[in-house]
Amino acid sequence: MPAPRPLGDVSGVQEGDVNQSPRRRRYVETQLDEASAAMVDADAELFLHQSLSTPCLDAIRRCEGIYLETASGRRLMDFHGNSAHQVGYGNPRVVEAIRRQLEELPFCPRRFTNRMAIDLARKLTSLAPKPLRKVLFAPSGAVAIGMAMKLARLSTGRHKTLSMWGAFHGATLEVASVGGEGLFRDGLGPLLPGAEHAHPPFPYRCVYGCGGACDLRCANYLDSVLASDHDIGALIAEPVRCTVVAPPPPGYWQQVREACDRHGVLLVFDEIPACLGRTGHMFACQAVGATPGVLGIGKGLGGGVVPLAAGVARGELRVAGGRAIRHYPPQKNPSRCAAPPAPTEGIEVVGLVGHPRRVGGPALWGLG
């Protein structure tokens, strides 16, 4: 069975500030004018408090491109953007596409289809690596990963998952069970049974004892787990760990891909924050050289305007038939589906896919 999570290991790194740090309080006390402070106080009064969200840092009144403008008039460069603004906030192409669609066909009830949903599905399958050719849309990344979990059960007949400590796949109870961050798991009581975990590959602080000379013991360990537990139906992982921005060692995912094929396990990649050009490729799986059975994408898919995610799967995984994988009213919402072609075309036309490769090397050299 996978080893227990060690105290102090890098896999337990939390995703950002939990909103209780002295720095947040100091910012609120020293940088907010009276009107902004009143909005932050009202927000804290009205909303349930939770880490990474409420209480808030500041109030904003405008966003454009890479900039946020606070209610007090400060202009901030947003290097985070919740991983949703590859083409910038308020991109005119995205906004205009949604505006036109709202005027023509704002909603499409389930059991009906529409041109925008079909066009988006065709666009995604044309961009994704073969053999990823079937699509389901979702309102959030967590739902997309939840759909992949159910699809794994239906296609393999197995009920367990293997995933990584420290990974984030969403905050719903089922997906938090698969994720590995204590911030979203601890203190909740029993989680989804059958969610097994292993240490991630992390060459800067390896827990597998390679001693600086990587021999892919991390991949061999996953192979041994899959070989010993025949009820694992899915391996769910981030191809590039977004919380600590750690790439896997060379050859890792190719070896894990082969292990999944050998043991009949569905490989599910969650690249919801890393898709659409952020790794120097349209999809992160292309950057690591391994194609999954299901690819979860989202965040920037909605152009920084609408929430939208999707699962893109191999054609032979169309096995649900008379079963429901996941239904919700805006399954093929034309207003949401109108947004993604604008950012994907913008990424292609402007050449944003190659931009991380052009600036990444000099940036890493400067940081080193």
CB 244 within 8 A of CB 203: no
Q: Across the chain, what does the average pLDDT equal?
A: 87
pLDDT in tens, 68-98: 999 999 999 998 888 888 888 998 989 999 9
Tell me the two tokens of residue 293: 């059975």
Evaluate if residue 17 carries a pLDDT over 60: no
Evaluate if residue 12 carries a pLDDT over 60: no
Kindly tell me the sign of the dihedral angle through the C-alpha atoms of 136, 278, 164, 230: positive
pLDDT tier at 2, thresholds 50, 70, 90: very low
* Domain parsing of the chain, residue ranges: 10-79, 92-367
CB 144 within 8 A of CB 298: yes
Average pLDDT over residues 19-36: 84
Q: Look up the CATH architecture of domain 92-367.
A: 3-Layer(aba) Sandwich (3.40)
Average pLDDT over residues 285-310: 93
What is the rounded CA–CA span in Å between residue 283 and residue 289?
Answer: 10
First-to-last CA distance in the chain?
Answer: 38
What's the pLDDT score for residue 289? Answer: 94
Q: Phi, psi (5° rounding) for residue 241?
A: -70, 115
- Per the DSSP assignment, residues forming a β-bridge with 314 are 132
What's the pLDDT score for residue 345? Answer: 72
What is the rounded CA–CA span in Å between residue 158 and residue 229?
Answer: 10
Average pLDDT over residues 203-229: 84
Evaluate if residue 210 carries a pLDDT over 80: no
pLDDT tier at 7, thresholds 50, 70, 90: very low
What's the pLDDT score for residue 145? Answer: 96
Non-local CB neighbours of 127 within 8 Å, separated by 6+ positions: 282, 283, 344
pLDDT in tens, 226-275: 999 999 999 999 999 877 777 788 999 999 999 999 999 999 999 999 99
* DSSP letter assigned to residue 26: H
Burial of 366 (0-12, 13-18, 19+ CB in 10 A): exposed
CB 2 within 8 A of CB 166: no
What is the rounded CA–CA span in Å between residue 283 and residue 288?
Answer: 9
Evaluate if residue 13 carries a pLDDT over 70: no
Average pLDDT over residues 340-348: 71
Tell me the two tokens of residue 49: 């408090």
pLDDT in tens, 104-148: 999 999 889 999 999 999 999 999 999 999 999 999 999 999 999
For the ranges 17-31, 228-242, 294-308, which has the lowest average pLDDT?
A: 17-31
What's the pLDDT score for residue 360? Answer: 72
